[in-house]
Amino acid sequence: MLRIDVVAMPLAVARVATILARRGFEMLTMDVAAPVDGLRRITIEVDTADEIRLAQLVKFLNRSLDVVKVVRLSDDRSHNRRGVFVSVGFPEGGLPEAVAIARAFSAEIVEAHRDRCTVFAAAEPARIDALVKALSGFTIRELVMAPPLRISRPLRKGCLAVDRTRTWGQQ
């Protein structure tokens, strides 16, 4: 997974995609954020386990004039979440079972009818996959999955320690 900050100029995203295509990398997901302070953030999940090839890709991207910064986001150094909407159909009277499955996965029922419902969840990709598998006993009418969202974790010791004994406003 790579996070790439590029200059918010026309065709900058296209040039990054071209670099990936020319080097033979297949993108599993690509998420492009709206420009903020003249920069656009691109998060790309590439299909490779070869560390040498990935390091070469980072070098190629850093050579591009559009690229400001490239950060590799590994599983152990980042938070990873994915969002999903699952529309399921079931026989009449099956709603309680669908609600029980959704609650077990901390998902929300955003729409419910006698014979169908829509479930929304945002969690780690493995948990999302487990939710979809649990709902596969019903008829899955539609499945909309967002690309993974990832953010770097601070690695400094004690950086975000939380004192649970205090409440807001106490000193």
For residue 135, give the CATH number of its domain.
3.30.70.1150
Classify residue 20: in a domain, yes or no: yes
pLDDT for 77: 67
Average model confidence (pLDDT) for the chain?
A: 84
Q: Residue 151: what pLDDT?
A: 72
Q: Quote the pLDDT of residue 154.
A: 58
User: Which residue, 89, 143, 144, is CA-closest to 116?
Assistant: 89
Among 52, 72, 92, the domain-final residue is 72
Helix (H) / strand (E) containing 85: strand 78-89
In a domain, 168, yes or no: no
- Do 54 and 97 sit in the same domain of this protein? no
Q: What is the model's pTM?
A: 0.62
Q: What is the pLDDT of residues 10-39, one digit of tens each?
A: 899 999 999 989 988 888 888 888 999 999
Give the structural domain span for 126: 80-151
Residue 51 scores a pLDDT above 90: no
| pLDDT digit string, tens, across residues 116-170 | 999 999 998 889 999 999 999 999 999 998 877 777 665 555 544 444 444 444 4
CA 47-28-2 angle, 5° bins: 70
pLDDT of residue 128: 92
What domain count does the chain have? 2
Mean pLDDT of 83-109: 92
Share of the chain above pLDDT 70, in %: 86
- CATH code, 47: 3.30.70.260
Q: Where are the alpha helices (DSSP H) in the chain?
A: 12-22, 51-63, 95-104, 125-135
Same domain, yes or no, for 84 and 144? yes
Note the residue count of the chain: 171
Q: Is the pLDDT of residue 67 over 60?
A: yes
Residue 159 covered by a domain: no
pLDDT at 169: 47
